[in-house]
Structure 1
């Protein structure tokens, strides 16, 4: 219901004058507004505190676009918008009808005829969205308005193009837990089938007055959605088989909206004919009362007395300061043990103590087919510092451990038992760690004794760059074995890789900052770990002011070549090969059609080629950068995911088909996966190859494809989307969906 405006609500948005508040959330506020001519609209705005963030502006624009896609037949028609305004806004028709949750509260569970008509109409709305390759992702009773002419779907704040998760990396399970699909609840891709699952849950609510998975804490609901059967007591018997099929945990077994609509309703009669009289009367009442709403604005609150001068802030290290100011934190907890590494969100400037960890920081243990699992952070969540996006979480196989950065610390986990062996004391960035066999090297700093007069002064001063070995037995960083007075400890420094006792890294010189400065100088260099001697230094092109891209996406050494994927200042991706003896660039080839986010993965190389997927599959000669072969010639129009090498073959998932094995030298297809199960295999997750099986992700399972029969053999339930084989432990290590887990390598 409308509520009064508050004292600082704007007085106008274009020709629209707010007269009341309809609601407010994390992104913005919705107003009831009118034009001078009397047209009444619902006007949605973005909060001023996030309006300066380009990512949120883009999300707001996409919400407006999605509302336009669904149209005024199935949604609140967009009548005006200004996404470029200082406070972005868009105006829609004011829908004369209650949300479904209020309708059920008023009338009780709806009769079967109402539920069927409602479901068929919502199938039409979702079908319109899906035809434009958009998924809603938050279909719930409060986002469905009931009018005399049919339901209207609103709130497209987290709707997105199918398969595109770039704007939603901030959280894993985005949406409303009680009405999420299992794949959405586990952080996997939510497709059109996920909207069908949510629609079925919404119809269960309409028929029974309760969600299919009950009420409770978010963590409990997420668990039930993924692993328990829905409560369908009270659902009309004739609707049971339809809704049960829509609520199948496997998205590939759910029906389409078109098929479902034809089974729900024949389309006869007017929508109002199927609504209870009480609900029709409420719709009529709302149509009258909207004209009776008069503008009201609450006065400004009285000013609080001056609490006195704040205490002087404590001096923090630049690394801790940078992480704290970004508000990024995470928890690592050994599931089933007493100990936990808890973290919480720290906002604004530094504080002497962090806020307490949330009470639900330990999530319910997932029902996986794993040997062990522990709660960690999600690899899809990038560690972001004032808008800078860096490399996602990386798994390192070091001796008997899995080593990864969790939060701001380096952590060692036993690959065989899942026991947390140690957690580093110092702040560590995931992109400043390199490993090889049984050693880990950190790009770190040496405190030069500088003490600034304020936090800002401290942040602008850069300490000398240093390199240190990390003791994997004790979990402590050793004393730096070398420091460079001509290079600085900057957040954008990168440890690229280690090969034959040499560390390859990126380092800069200039003022400390949270982002690149055009005044800084940047280099790639090689350092002998044993002696600390710098073998060579090669300049890198300058970054533009406040650029957010790290120089390198991935790198490895093949023979006497440093092979890398490098991101240019314009966002394009280049394959670059340098001579490991001198740092000289041998060749540089732009990879058309490849986005940086697609290839932030370990490189796939052999002695002759660099293999690149994420579109067409191609092999580049390491000698000169020429194309040795390209799938576009042999299999035109086919799209491939990220490749993997093993057992003398190159493997990649082909869109709509499944796993395909290629001859690495010629690109000739050796075999392709049998059966139709591979049609929904994940192109974003690289396969991993064991002695007898290649493993690919599809939905919430990791499937093993038999390398002899070329058919799916067995699968593991998993929340992971990043996989690694730990050969010493004989395990497949999976990271994702808040959990690190191990599966048997068969």
Structure 2
């Protein structure tokens, strides 16, 4: 927020104006407070535009439109009038990030949160349509996430359901990628246009990318009218529903009432607004606003030693984004104790590599590397947006730029053998040599919060906690909001084995898999045992690495088994048998509704829903190899080609054939493979390299 400037009014109606939240082409938005202490976002038309009768009428009409909606899901209009020849609208002040800001800061939402969001927005659309209106511009930046749930703002181009279009030649009728095809074509728009926009919003929320892409506005709008929505990363249970929202023909779209019923979030999922990283973010902003308004309502000079002017004008490090009812503005406020180290920094943008054209060469040429970059105790390289995290040869962690492989930062105090985790694609969590839980900004390596945890290894994380194995072999939950220990529990299995356990946390369950073939699920609220699985180890006791898709956990080992996350009930199990011998399954990789794995001589793909086979690679020797999927290919490590030489095979998913090969320099490993941003990253012993991805 910026202080008032020359020419800014000091008061509009009952509102004393305290600062400028933002400005746009049509006007400014001020932060105001009335005599009772209630706050508002006051939007005012620019003086030079106030004399344009059409614009002034449209501005006032926006207030009338929003006032007609009786819903807790929209920002309420508190007042509107023309004062001194300038029309203004006062709307409820909403504290919280917009949906697009939340996705950038915390990463895409999970399936339960998507269901909560979908149900809430569907109900809000029901209320808007019941008032005889169409919003016409539902998009992530017009949805504010508050402690009470999502709220829809900005009725700037809303119209009565049977009203004419507002657009004129050369104007964009709605935000590209979110407006329905009939809006793009300038046709009459009905209530189901908002359903199309809702579908596009939900795709963005769960994937972090728009449903329709393009290099410029015209290309995006062409895709909206003629193209196919990109739903490959949408949870498979919801993909058909969201796809129907994005139907080109409005009559094929479901109604908001139908959507509100079908989304059906799991019991307790509404707690997303009260617990977790997003809730912590919202509460911090609420505290900031309370501090500001308390200062303003005081003597006007100071409160607890902080002057009103200093409080308003301090534009420094922080992350308080305040959403007003007609737009949004970012402002920064340094509190006396300094920035909040537990607030998530914005996640870096992912510099996706362009997909290469199909190659006629039989072998792959690396994008960069191989470089000596990996320590002997390093976990699988961890891609996080614009960096690749590894255990460094000289100890600690190192981050390498995904584009060219150059080392960007190091954390030498980290215990290289203690694992590493990504927290919302923004922070890296690890254990240092003293057993402290330490975090760093993923892109820059800036140290953030530290918590004493007696940690030997970081195991998993969810929105609420980081879960660690302590030096004496217990489980410990450390809060992401303040670094405090939530609980410590001892479970009935050895967590200090030679081969470190792997874990995953989701939907109230923490899964821990050990090298003795035991998988334990505990309740993330208290660490109590929920269920366990015995005898899952393969004959050579290779690492078990669980992965989660919705309410299903996939576990490798002697078979690839899909089980209920809540109670461990088996849904299906698959294995390959060669010459009477069951082949072990490698680590599972979840992509959409498919799980990819290796099983002896083949890399395989199965439907997560029913275990049906979807793809099978040419015969090779992929035992225990991880699988990476990027572009139209699956990548796996064939450890026996000629003379026992190992190589990376790129295999087309649309056909059963090997496409390209990259021969590895070392033949002893350890090997690891992972993919992100149209790149495949390979660990070959101490070497690290990146391979291109072909369309």
Q: TM-score, normalised by structure 1?
A: 0.38
Q: TM-score, normalised by structure 2?
A: 0.41
Q: Which has the higher contact order (CA 8 A, sep 6+)?
A: 2
